């Protein structure tokens, strides 16, 4: 009997044990395109036990065999799946209404239904930015957004990047968009060299734009609001649009750790062409007292050196990222640490960056929520010069029969010379330039953002947010006493410390109410922006010790110091009202009034409104459930935005004077107490269409922007006024354009899909008016070399170049000098080129096959002119390949200027010139317009990425690894272009210059290197 009870007991125990056996199920949850879905709720159906997916879409849960797992995520259909084994990958489909109800991060960081937006916006996923592994994330946006242009100022580490949205609208001011991180503005400032005591133009030194302080791995998404319609609530600084960055956040569920390591190798591969046929000399005769190559041919067997290839190194960058995420429904966190160490392709150059980012959120009871974000960045940038006198120009000019690597004499200290000329007339050796004339910047930055949301009622919320963006930047540049630029001063050193504090507060109330088919939303708020910057700089010359860099070893009588203090405050009150009828018609009205400290009291407040309308015809009647038309929207908007002056434009400043015994006198900049705000008016119409459940999409926008009463800085004055420059309300400009984005999923199966996106941008501008006494406006920084500068005239685009051109007779024939047969020049600064392209296309393709992904991005440009100043430098020094025909006699086609040039019988030129014996043909009788390369086209492969993620089944039994991913990316892989120089996508200045800047001006600028990136990412 006991045996029977024992057997029965064992039988039931076995059954209970069988039912209670749990297994660990792991897998990945993704959308139909293969994109990982973080934050998906994974619940054992019928219980409260569950988990959620991590940032990489993977999950792990213990559940009984045969149980049903419920996968749910906002915007996707819930899916129930019976456990079939320890590894299950899940694909969630978007809900039918979700396909229509996409949300985006808009103004004030508020999530908005895309169907209600009456203006254009575009979002780039953080993973697309992260995969490129570019240290400056801004460079990864080029080609991914219609209407957005990014031009890096150099191929060196830490180079700044200039960004414009919808072209250039301001003649002298800032054309960059506003940057927003998690709801509050942050600085993307590039240090202006004019603030230092040397007061130099922004040509020879570059300073990293502060947007590069952001770690690309911390970015969840970037939403680009393209015009003032989209950014009306952000006020003055958003007149050029806004770039809204949402950082990654913690997710409720099982905590996770992620580690990634990236190695990047860079190689510069595009250079200017130089001739190696003729050696140094003058008018066909060799000379050791000349640096120009107008001598005889090199003798057969002469050893020639490839100084350009020998000079450049392989750049290497290593970046490691460690991330911790986790939390509960009430509290989440994300902590990331990233360390980047990069050496450049130019000897001595380097860029190091440390990032620490902490995000947290908390639910406090039922009515309060809070979040806090903290970003710390520390960077060091060791730089080389650019532009005139740079290592690059010296490298191109160095004679091919001399090994540039031997730049020191036998004593290892003194500069080696290659001519019998005086030291001051000999060019610096490029190695001497980078090793003996150093420059370095060091930056510490802290950005903090604290938000609190109070929901007193289901229809009302009040949000308060405060942020501090504090940057401490210091650096120096030095010129060795033996360098050309240091001979007259006995050496020169300049130190600076720039401290910037930007404080932003924003508080707004948001009310939502529905009345039948009408839904309404009202926002009212207040924003305060306070910017405070101090720049302390010192300089000294006459080094007492040549090879020790310090201000303390300069002659005390040469030491100078200066402090600049820049303060600006803007207080704004704003409101927004939205009425939506049945998700068919949405009307949004905004208004904002600002008070600014930079305009005269009484004229320093101004109001500007905006209105937008969205008509979603795909939500009418039977179209609402249509299978072929997913989204159909027409939109229209109008906006005004005001813009104030720069700090202290309305007040004259004093400067200390040595001649008055420590007294003061006015500076060169005059005050204008009558300045008033400039206003931009913007009009936009567009449409958004999506078909076959988002398999095919088209977004088109047409816009026009007009700016009146532009505040133009640094207009020249008569010296009789006692000043040199002053700011005025002069000029009217217009910018108009067309943007289109085509998206498609041509192939979509269970294991394979192909996603493509094509962006098209066409932008035109025109200067409508200037004072009659001002025929041309130009930014002086852009006068880089010879007589070419970024100047604009009434009736011409804002992106034109002005300079010396041929002098023509009334019939349009070039005029020739009867004295020497050389061309005559028009020195009145006519328009000789336009840098604006005819159109730009960005073409992105992504192919996903199971766990593999291959993507590439092409950047295509048609038209637009480029000033090849480097070629002009080589030409006038006899090193351009254009000068190889110098021994061929020629007669220039044209009309002799002899008084008959405009008659019926002009004199045809017949004077023969042989440049081999008349080198002034190249050195002084060139025409600058010949070095404007017209209609430059390019097809550039911005990046190619191949990635592989190990299937989740590999980790079914692992208690340590959750995921492993591998990426290989090539950036700037190749370029096909008709440009004869090194790189047409250049900027001859740094990104701090206003107006049209130095884009399309190639002079002493290092081309963008090709980068090879290998990345591994581990999830734990």
Q: Annotate 395-459 with DSSP letters as a single string.
A: HHHS-TTS-TT--B-TTSSSBP--SSS-GGGSPPPHHHHHHHS-EEEEEEEEEEEEEEEEEEETT
Contact criterion met (CB below 8 Å) for 404 and 395 = yes
Counting beta carbons within 10 angstroms of the beta carbon of residue 341, is it exposed (0 to 12), middle (13 to 18) or buried (19 or more)?
middle
Res 40 pLDDT > 90? no
How far apart, in whole angstroms, are the C-alpha atoms of residue 454 and residue 507?
A: 11
751 & 790 share domain: yes
Question: In this structure, what token pair is assigned to residue 315?
Answer: 């750049």
Supply the pLDDT for residue 593. 95
636 & 705 share domain: yes
152 & 253 share domain: yes
The CATH number given to whatever domain includes residue 67 is 2.60.40.1120
Domain assignment of residue 716, yes or no: yes
Picking from 63, 91, 119, the residue at the C-terminal end of a domain is 91
Q: How far is CA 300 from the centre of its chain?
A: 49
Exposed e or buried b per residue across 867-885, where buried means at least 16 C-beta atoms within 10 angstroms of its C-beta = bbbbbbbbbbbbbbbbbee
Question: In this structure, what token pair is assigned to residue 979?
Answer: 């440009």
Contact criterion met (CB below 8 Å) for 202 and 992 = yes
First to last CA, the chain: 54
DSSP state of 987: B
For the segment 17-29, the average pLDDT, to the nearest whole number, is: 70
Res 16 pLDDT > 80? no
Supply the pLDDT for residue 5. 43
Domain assignment of residue 821, yes or no: no
Supply the pLDDT for residue 115. 83
68 & 143 share domain: no
Question: What are the CB-based long-range contacts (under 8 Å, 24+) for 41-50?
Answer: 41/70, 41/71, 41/72, 41/73, 42/69, 42/70, 42/71, 43/69, 43/70, 43/72, 44/68, 44/69, 44/70, 45/69, 45/70, 45/80
215 & 326 share domain: yes
Question: In this structure, what token pair is assigned to residue 194?
Answer: 């004019």
How far apart, in whole angstroms, are the C-alpha atoms of residue 226 and residue 146?
A: 9
Q: How far is CA 61 from the centre of its chain?
A: 42
For 279-323, the pLDDT digits (tens) are 999 999 998 888 899 999 999 999 999 999 999 999 999 999 999
Total domain count, the chain: 2
Res 509 pLDDT > 60? yes
- The total of other beta-carbon atoms located within 10 Å of residue 20's CB is 9
How far apart, in whole angstroms, are the C-alpha atoms of residue 835 and residue 494?
A: 34
Domain assignment of residue 180, yes or no: yes
Supply the pLDDT for residue 881. 97
Q: Which helix (H) or strand (E) covers residue 332, if one does?
A: strand 331-343
86 & 183 share domain: no
718 & 776 share domain: yes
Res 772 pLDDT > 60? yes
Cα–Cα nearest to 815, from 925, 893, 896 = 896
65 & 186 share domain: no
Query: CA-CA-CA-CA torsion for 998, 243, 237, 505, nearest 10 degrees?
Result: -140
Question: In this structure, what token pair is assigned to residue 710?
Answer: 């532009």
Supply the pLDDT for residue 791. 95
For the segment 147-164, the average pLDDT, to the nearest whole number, is: 94
Res 246 pLDDT > 70? yes
Domain assignment of residue 560, yes or no: yes
Domain assignment of residue 273, yes or no: no
Domain that holds residue 37: 22-91
223 & 79 share domain: no
How far apart, in whole angstroms, are the C-alpha atoms of residue 109 and residue 449?
A: 12
The position carrying tokens 């054309």 is 175
Domain assignment of residue 982, yes or no: yes
How far apart, in whole angstroms, are the C-alpha atoms of residue 148 and residue 159?
A: 19
649 & 712 share domain: yes
Q: With the C-alpha atoms ordered 203, 240, 606, 112, is the resulting torsion angle positive or negative?
A: negative
Weakest mean pLDDT among 198-202, 273-277, 598-602, 654-658: 654-658
Query: For the chain, what is the radius of gyration of the CA atoms?
Result: 32
Supply the pLDDT for residue 6. 44
How far apart, in whole angstroms, are the C-alpha atoms of residue 118 and residue 599?
A: 32
What's the chain's average pLDDT? Answer: 91
Question: In this structure, what token pair is assigned to residue 84?
Answer: 């079939």
Contact criterion met (CB below 8 Å) for 549 and 435 = no
Strands (E), 810-937: 815-816, 825-826, 831-834, 839-849, 852-862, 866-868, 890-891, 895-896, 912-913, 932-933
Collapsing DSSP to helix, strand or coil, 158 comes out as coil
Picking from 91, 114, 140, the residue at the C-terminal end of a domain is 91
Cα–Cα nearest to 112, from 102, 120, 121, 122 = 102
Query: CA-CA-CA-CA torsion for 398, 400, 404, 406, nearest 10 degrees?
Result: -130
Q: Apex CA 235: angle with CA 233 and CA 239, to 5°?
A: 110
Q: How far is CA 548 from the centre of its chain?
A: 36
Domain assignment of residue 520, yes or no: yes
Weakest mean pLDDT among 11-15, 140-144, 274-278: 11-15
Q: Which helix (H) or strand (E) covers residue 13, if one does?
A: helix 2-20
Picking from 71, 91, 111, the residue at the C-terminal end of a domain is 91
Supply the pLDDT for residue 51. 83
128 & 86 share domain: no
The position carrying tokens 């057969």 is 300
Supply the pLDDT for residue 7. 44
The CATH number given to whatever domain includes residue 208 is 2.40.170.20
For the segment 948-964, the average pLDDT, to the nearest whole number, is: 83
For 56-112, the pLDDT digits (tens) are 778 888 888 888 998 888 667 788 898 888 888 888 877 655 455 566 666 677 777
Collapsing DSSP to helix, strand or coil, 320 comes out as strand
29 & 139 share domain: no
Domain assignment of residue 294, yes or no: no
Collapsing DSSP to helix, strand or coil, 512 comes out as strand
């Amino acid at each position: 009997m006991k045996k029977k009870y024992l057997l029965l007991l064992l039988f039931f125990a076995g059954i209970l044990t069988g039912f209670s056996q749990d297994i660990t199920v792991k897998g990945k949850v993704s959308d139909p395109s293969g994109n990982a879905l973080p934050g998906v709720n994974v619940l054992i159906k019928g219980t409260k036990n569950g988990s959620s997916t991590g940032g990489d879409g993977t999950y792990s849960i213990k559940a009984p065999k045969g149980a049903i797992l419920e996968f749910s995520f906002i915007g996707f259909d819930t899916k129930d799946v019976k456990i079939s084994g320890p590894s299950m990958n899940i694909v969630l489909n978007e809900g039918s209404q979700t396909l229509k109800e996409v949300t985006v991060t808009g103004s004030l960081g508020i999530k908005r239904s895309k169907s209600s937006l009456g203006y254009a916006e575009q979002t780039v996923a953080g993973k697309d930015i992260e995969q490129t592994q570019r240290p400056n994330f801004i460079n990864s946006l080029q080609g991914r957004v219609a209407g957005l242009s990014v031009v890096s100022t150099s191929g060196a580490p830490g180079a700044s990047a200039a960004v414009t949205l919808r072209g250039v609208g301001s003649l002298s001011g800032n054309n960059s968009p506003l940057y927003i991180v998690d709801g509050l503005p942050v600085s993307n400032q590039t240090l202006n060299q004019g603030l230092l005591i040397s007061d130099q133009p922004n040509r020879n030194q570059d300073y990293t734009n502060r947007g590069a302080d952001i770690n690309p791995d911390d970015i969840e998404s970037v939403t680009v609001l393209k015009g003032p319609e989209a950014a009306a609530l952000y006020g003055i600084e958003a007149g050029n649009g806004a770039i809204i960055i949402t950082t990654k956040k913690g997710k409720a569920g099982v905590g996770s750790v992620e580690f990634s390591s990236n190695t990047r190798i860079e190689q510069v591969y595009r250079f200017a062409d130089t001739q190696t046929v003729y050696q140094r000399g003058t008018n066909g005769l060799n000379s050791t007292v000349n640096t120009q190559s107008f001598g005889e041919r090199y003798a057969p067997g002469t050893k020639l050196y490839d100084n350009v290839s020998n000079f450049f190194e392989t750049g290497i960058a290593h970046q490691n990222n460690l991330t911790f995420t986790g939390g509960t429904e009430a509290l989440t966190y994300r902590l990331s640490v990233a360390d980047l160490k990069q050496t450049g392709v130019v000897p001595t150059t380097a860029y190091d960056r440390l990032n620490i980012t902490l995000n947290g959120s908390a639910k406090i009871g039922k009515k309060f929520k809070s979040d806090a974000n903290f970003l710390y960045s520390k960077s060091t940038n060791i730089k080389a010069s650019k532009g005139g006198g740079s290592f690059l120009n010296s490298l191109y000019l160095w004679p091919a029969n001399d090994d540039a690597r031997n730049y020191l004499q036998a004593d290892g200290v003194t500069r080696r010379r290659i001519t019998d000329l005086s030291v001051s007339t000999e060019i610096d050796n490029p190695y001497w330039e980078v090793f003996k004339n150093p420059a370095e910047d060091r930056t510490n930055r802290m950005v903090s953002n604290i938000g609190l949301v109070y929901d007193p009622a289901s229809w009302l919320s009040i949000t308060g947010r405060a942020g501090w963006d504090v940057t401490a930047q210091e650096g120096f540049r030095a010129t060795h006493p033996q360098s050309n630029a240091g001979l007259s001063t006995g050496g020169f050193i300049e130190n600076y410390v720039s401290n910037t504090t930007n404080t932003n507060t924003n508080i707004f109330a948001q009310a939502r109410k529905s009345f039948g088919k009408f839904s309404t939303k009202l926002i009212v708020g207040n924003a305060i922006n306070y910017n405070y910057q101090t720049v302390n700089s010192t300089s000294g010359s006459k080094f007492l010790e040549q090879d020790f860099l310090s201000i303390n070893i300069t002659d005390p009588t040469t030491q100078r110091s200066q402090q600049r203090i820049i303060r600006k405050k803007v207080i704004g009150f704003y409101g927004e009202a939205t009425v939506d009828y049945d998700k068919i018609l949405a009307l949004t009205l905004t208004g904002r009034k600002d008070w600014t400290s930079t305009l005269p009291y009484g004229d320093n407040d101004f109001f500007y409104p905006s209105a937008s309308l969205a008509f979603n015809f795909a939500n009418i009647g039977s179209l609402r459930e249509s299978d072929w038309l997913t989204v159909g929207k027409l939109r229209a908007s109008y906006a005004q935005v005001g813009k104030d002056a720069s700090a202290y434009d309305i007040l004259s400043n004093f400067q200390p004077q040595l001649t008055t015994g420590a007294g003061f006198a006015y500076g060169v900049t005059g005050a204008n107490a009558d300045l008033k705000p400039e206003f931009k008016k913007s009009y936009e119409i567009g449409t958004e269409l999506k078909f076959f459940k988002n398999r095919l999409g088209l977004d088109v926008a047409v816009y026009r922007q007009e700016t009146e009463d532009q505040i133009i800085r640094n207009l020249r004055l008569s010296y009789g006024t006692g000043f040199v420059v002053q700011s005025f309300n002069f000029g009217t400009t217009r910018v108009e354009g067309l943007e289109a984005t085509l998206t498609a999923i041509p192939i979509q199966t269970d294991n394979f899909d192909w996603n493509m996106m094509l962006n098209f941008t066409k932008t035109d501008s025109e200067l409508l008016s200037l004072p009659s006494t001002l025929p041309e406006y130009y930014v002086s920084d852009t006068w880089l070399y010879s007589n070419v500068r970024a100047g604009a005239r009434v009736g011409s685009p804002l992106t034109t170049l002005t300079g010396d051109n041929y002098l023509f007779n009334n019939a349009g024939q070039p005029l020739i000098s009867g004295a020497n047969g050389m061309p005559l020049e028009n020195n009145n600064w006519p328009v000789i080129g336009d840098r604006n392209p005819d159109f730009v296309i960005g073409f992105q393709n992504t192919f996903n096959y199971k766990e593999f992904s291959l993507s590439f991005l092409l950047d295509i440009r048609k038209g637009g002119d480029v000033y090849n100043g480097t070629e002009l430098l080589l030409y006038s020094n006899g090193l351009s390949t254009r000068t190889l025909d110098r021994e061929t006699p020629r007669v220039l086609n044209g009309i002799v200027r002899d008084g008959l040039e405009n008659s019926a019988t002009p004199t045809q030129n017949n004077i023969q010139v042989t440049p081999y014996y008349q080198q002034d043909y190249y050195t002084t009788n060139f025409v600058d317009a010949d070095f404007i390369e017209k209609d430059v086209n390019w097809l550039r492969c911005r990046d190619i990425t191949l990635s592989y993620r190990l299937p989740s089944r590999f980790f079914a039994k692992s208690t340590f690894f959750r995921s492993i991913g591998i990426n290989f990316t090539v950036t700037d892989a190749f370029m096909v272009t008709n440009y004869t120089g090194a790189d047409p996508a250049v900027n001859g200045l740094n990104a701090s210059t206003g107006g049209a800047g130095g884009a399309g001006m190639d002079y002493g600028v290092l081309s963008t290197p090709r980068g090879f990136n290998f990345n591994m990412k581990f999830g734990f």
